[in-house]
């Protein structure tokens, strides 16, 4: 599966809000993405899959009587099969996103989410890699995040990238008052961490393909 990262654009916001609601429930307090676009202390990246992946997911959901927004945006994807990766129809489709706030020397991942039907395909890990690259470029020393105590899959991914549990936030999630695990890395700008990070990216490439970022 061919997926590339790029920065959030205004025309992506409706899709990102849709993904946010799917991932965090309709009761989640939505981010003001439009306002945040020009925030120099924040970074928003989106993951865009190739046309073949879009078509495959569409085929799986054709029985649905009500098409979600992302399916409507992907109409005509058959026309772009076999064309270059960055065809217009494929680039309009957003499979997931990550938002990061820069606070002093800390880069804090506030949200990372992937469409339910595209989970388990390495997209969440790609978003994590992209956010870490950008944090290093920004000059951040550590990365932090919160994750649901019940989300063991996400916790294992973060642990692979050397995030460690440092505490909990009681009743953090507004939809069901679930606790959050607070996780943080050791300094990410050290030679030791960068060697680990480079190795993890090579492992990612061998499984999922090249890491493509249109910064």
Can you give the pLDDT at residue 72? 55
Which residue, among 175, 117, 135, 180, has the nearest Cα to 154 in the 3D structure?
Answer: 180
Dig out the tokens for 70 from the structure.
């992302």
SS3 per-residue string spanning 16-67? HHHHHHHHHCCCCCCCCHHHHCCCCCEEEEEEEECHHHHHHHHHHCCCCCCC
Dig out the tokens for 78 from the structure.
């058959």
Can you give the pLDDT at residue 83? 36
Dig out the tokens for 9 from the structure.
């654009």
Domains by residue range for the chain, with CATH: 3-214 (3.40.630.30)
Q: Are strands 212-214 and 3-7 parallel, antiparallel or unpaired?
A: parallel
Can you give the pLDDT at residue 16? 94
- Active-site residue list: 146, 158
Can you give the pLDDT at residue 176? 82
Going across the sheet that includes 96-103, the strands are: 164-169, 180-184, 142-148, 106-114, 96-103, 42-49, 3-7, 212-214
Can you give the pLDDT at residue 116? 92
Separation between Cα atoms, residue 125 and residue 120, nearest integer Å: 9
Can you give the pLDDT at residue 85? 43
Strand partners, 142: 106
Separation between Cα atoms, residue 56 and residue 66, nearest integer Å: 18
Can you give the pLDDT at residue 67? 60
Give me the average pLDDT of each 10-residue run along the chain (215 residues): 91 93 74 86 94 74 56 47 41 90 97 93 97 97 97 97 97 88 97 98 96 87
Non-local (6+) Cβ contacts of 17 within 8 A are 30, 33
- Which backbone phi and psi does 42 adopt, to 5 degrees? -140, 155
């Amino acid at each position: 599966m061919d997926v590339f990262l790029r920065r959030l654009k205004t025309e992506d916001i409706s899709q990102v809000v849709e993904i946010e609601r799917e991932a965090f429930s309709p009761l989640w307090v939505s981010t003001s993405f439009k306002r945040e676009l020009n925030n120099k202390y924040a970074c928003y990246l989106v993951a865009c899959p190739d046309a073949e992946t879009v078509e495959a997911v569409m085929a799986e959901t054709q029985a649905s009587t009500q098409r979600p927004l992302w399916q409507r945006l992907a109409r005509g994807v058959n026309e772009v099969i076999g064309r270059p990766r960055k065809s217009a129809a494929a680039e309009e489709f957003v499979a997931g996103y990550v938002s990061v706030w820069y606070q002093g020397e800390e880069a804090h991942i506030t949200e990372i989410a992937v469409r339910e039907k595209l989970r388990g395909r390495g997209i969440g890990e790609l978003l994590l890699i992209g956010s870490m690259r950008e944090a290093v470029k920004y000059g951040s020393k550590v990365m932090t995040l919160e994750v649901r105590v019940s989300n063991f899959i996400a916790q294992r991914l973060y642990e692979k990238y050397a995030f460690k549990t440092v505490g909990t936030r009681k009743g953090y999630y507004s939809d069901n008052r679930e606790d959050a695990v607070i996780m943080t890395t050791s300094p990410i700008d050290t030679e030791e961490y960068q060697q680990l990070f480079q190795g993890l990216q090579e492992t990612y490439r061998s499984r999922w393909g090249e890491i493509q970022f249109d910064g």
